[in-house]
Amino acid sequence: MSAQHLTKAFVFGVAGFVFRDWLALMLAMVAAGFLGTWLGLRLLHRLSEQRFDTLFKWALTLLALRLAWLGVARLLGPAG
- Amino acid in the structure at residue 16: G
The gap between the terminal CA atoms of the chain, to the nearest Å, is: 48
- What is the rounded CA–CA span in Å between residue 28 and residue 30? 5
Whether the Cβ atoms of residue 9 and residue 19 lie closer than 8 Å to each other: yes
pTM score of the predicted model: 0.60
Is residue 76 very low, low, confident or very high in pLDDT (cuts 50, 70, 90)?
very high
- What is the rounded CA–CA span in Å between residue 74 and residue 67? 11
Whether the Cβ atoms of residue 22 and residue 29 lie closer than 8 Å to each other: no
- What is the rounded CA–CA span in Å between residue 38 and residue 36? 5
The residue ranges of every structural domain in the chain are 1-46, 47-80
Which tens digits make up the pLDDT trace of 3-50? 998 899 899 999 999 989 999 999 999 999 999 999 999 999 999 999
